[in-house]
């Protein structure tokens, strides 16, 4: 059944998007930063994965934990070195800073890797799961499974580790967190680092599923930002809902008119914002909380 094919494929896509947008949502929710460089972090990770795979032949998925950790520490450095100083100036300046960082990444990627499409072609790249009427590309299934796994891991880490608790506490009540001895600076850097780590993980998945070149970070960030605007900025469940919606739109669109899918998605966003300016699960501005 075509409908089921679309739904399942859409969920697979949604799973990957969920991982990618979760970092963005986290950074916004905790730090009030619209991290437009998230796409660049994603593509950079894809390039690094590709390069390692190209020269050593190592299975990319094996690299995922390593790259995520490296990206984590890179995130700590970027936050402490750059954002910490600019954050007090407010969201209009941090978004410009993030934009600048994205350009630096793009420029470096262009210089190091050149402006050509890259992709990883493995022995499983062309295979598909064939279940009667439903055909699911191998890479997509793997990427989704890994993405969901990573998301669950991140969720568990945030829920049961002290660092994760501190982060959630800071997001829920900043003064209360300070009261119990949680350092706001440390939590902030940690939130950014996790956000960047998700981009690191996502980049590996990107590398095995889609072709990419340095400037594709714009498309990615436009999609991811669209997801969190639709789902409600700062809401992790909202990001997941938005991701699934985009996934299904793309799955449906791919059969009919692939190039118009993203426009359809943006129209849905604009329509939603017309009636619910804060997004599907977004909270109204904090005015109302005592």
Partner 1 sequence: MKNFFADRTRLYVAIPLLVLALIPVALPDSEYEQSVLIVCFLFAIMASGWNIISGFAGYVSLGHSVFLGMGMYTGSLLGQYFNLPTYYFVLVSMLVSVLTAVIIGAVILRTKSHSFVIITIAVLLSAQLIASNWRGFTGGTEGVIFRSPSWVKELGNMPYYYMFYVVFLLTIALVWFITTSRLGAGFVAIRDDEAKAGSIGINTTQYKVIAYGLSAAPYGLAGAIYAQYLGFINPIGAFNILLSVYLVLSALIGGKGTLWGPILGGFLIALANEVATITSGGISARILIMGIVLVGTVMFLPQGILNSVKTISAKRKSAKKSVAFIDQASIAEPNTAISIEKIVRPADANANKSDVILKVTDVYKSFGGVKAVNGVSMEIKRGSITGLIGPNGSGKTTLFNCITGTYEIERGSVVLNGEEISKMQPWVRAHKGLGRTFQITKLFKSMNVLDNLVAPLEQPSVKKMLVNKIQGDEADRAREVLSFMGLSSFEQSKVGALSFGQQKLIEFAQILMLRPDIVMLDEPASGINPTLIERLSKAIKRLNDAGTTFLIVEHNIPLVLSLCDYVHVLSAGELMVSGTPDKIRNDEAVIEAYLGPDTLLTEKS
Partner 2 sequence: MTETVLTLNGVEAGYGGGMVLQGFNLEVKKGSITCIVGPNGAGKSTVFRVISGLLKPNKGEVILSGKNISGISPSDILKLGITQVPQTRALFPEMSVRENILMGGYSIRKDSKLLKQRIQMVEEIVPIVKERASDPAGFLSGGQRRMVEIARALVLDPSLILMDEPSLGLDPKSVAKVSELVRKMTADGRTVLLIEQNVRLGMHLATDGVVMEAGKVRISAPADKIASDPEVASMYLGKTK
Based on CB atoms, which residue is closest to partner 2, 14 or 234?
234
115 belongs to the binding site for partner 1 (CB under 8 A): yes
288 belongs to the binding site for partner 1 (CB under 8 A): yes
* Contact between residue 48 and residue 200 where contact means Cβ atoms under 8 Å apart: no
The partner in contact with residue 166, picked from partner 1, partner 2, none with C-beta cut-offs of 5 to 8 angstroms by kind, is partner 2
Q: Select the residue interacting with partner 2 from 7, 69, 169, 280 (CB under 8 A).
A: 169
Q: Select the residue interacting with partner 1 from 59, 99, 145, 182 (CB under 8 A).
A: 99
Nearest distance in Å: CB 8, partner 1:
27
The partner in contact with residue 62, picked from partner 2, partner 1, none with C-beta cut-offs of 5 to 8 angstroms by kind, is none
Tokens of 156: 């568990």
3 belongs to the binding site for partner 2 (CB under 8 A): no
* Of residues 170-229, those binding partner 1 (CB under 8 A): 214, 218-219, 221-222, 225-226, 229
Length of the chain: 290
3-class secondary structure for the chain?
CHHHHHHHHHHHHHHHHHHHHHHHHHHHHHHCCCCCCHHHHHHHHHHHHHHHHHHHCCCHHHHHHHHHHHHHHHHHHHHHHHHHHHHHHCHHHHHHHHHHHHHHHHHHHHHHHCCCCECCCCCCCCCEEEECCEEEEHHHHHHHHHHHHHHHHHHHHHHHCHHHHHHHHHHHCHHHHHHCCCCHHHHHHHHHHHHHHHHHHHHHHHHHHCCECHHHHHHHHHHHHHHHHHHCCCCHHHHHHHHHHHHHHHHHHHHHCHHHHHHHHHHHHHHHHHHCCCCCCCCCCHHHCC
173 belongs to the binding site for partner 2 (CB under 8 A): yes
* Of residues 144-163, those binding partner 2 (CB under 8 A): 162
Nearest distance in Å: CB 188, partner 1:
17
Instruction: Give the integer Cα–Cα distance in Å for 104 and 83.
Output: 15
Stretch touching partner 2 by CB under 8 A, among 28-36, 66-74, 173-181, 197-205: 173-181
Stretch touching partner 1 by CB under 8 A, among 50-58, 158-166, 188-196, 266-274: 266-274
Under the rule (CB under 8 A), what is the footprint of partner 2?
A: 162, 165-166, 168-169, 172-173, 175-183, 290
Under the rule (CB under 8 A), what is the footprint of partner 1?
A: 28, 34, 36, 82, 85-86, 89, 91-93, 95-97, 99-108, 110-111, 115, 214, 218-219, 221-222, 225-226, 229, 233, 259-260, 262-263, 266, 269-270, 273-274, 277-279, 285, 287-290
């Amino acid at each position: 059944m075509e409908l089921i094919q679309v739904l399942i494929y859409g969920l697979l896509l949604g799973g990957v998007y969920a991982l990618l947008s979760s970092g963005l949502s986290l950074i916004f929710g905790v730090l009030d930063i619209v991290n437009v460089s998230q796409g660049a972090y994603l593509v950079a990770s894809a390039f690094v994965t590709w390069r390692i795979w190209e020269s050593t032949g190592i299975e990319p998925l094996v690299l995922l934990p390593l790259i995520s950790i490296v990206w984590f520490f890179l995130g700590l450095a970027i936050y402490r070195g750059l954002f910490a100083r600019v954050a007090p100036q407010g969201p209009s300046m941090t978004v410009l800073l993030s934009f600048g960082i994205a350009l630096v990444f793009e420029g470096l990627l262009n210089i190091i890797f050149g402006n050509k499409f890259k992709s990883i072609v493995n022995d499983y790249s062309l295979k598909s799961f064939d279940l009667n009427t439903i055909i699911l590309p191998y890479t997509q299934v793997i990427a989704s499974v890994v993405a969901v796994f990573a998301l669950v891991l991140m969720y568990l880490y945030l829920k049961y580790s002290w660092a994760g608790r501190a982060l959630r506490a800071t997001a829920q009540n900043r003064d209360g967190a300070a009261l119990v001895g949680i350092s706001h600076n440390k939590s902030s850097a940690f939130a950014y680092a996790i956000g960047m780590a998700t981009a690191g993980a996502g980049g590996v998945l990107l590398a095995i599923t889609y072709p990419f070149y340095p400037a594709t970070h714009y498309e990615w960030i436009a999609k991811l930002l669209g997801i969190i605007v639709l789902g409600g900025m700062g809401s992790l469940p909202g990001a997941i809902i938005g991701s699934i919606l985009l996934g299904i739109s793309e799955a449906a669109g791919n059969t009919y008119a692939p190039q118009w899918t993203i426009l359809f998605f943006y129209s849905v966003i604009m329509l939603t914002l017309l009636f619910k300016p804060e997004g599907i699960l977004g909270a109204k501005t904090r005015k109302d909380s005592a």
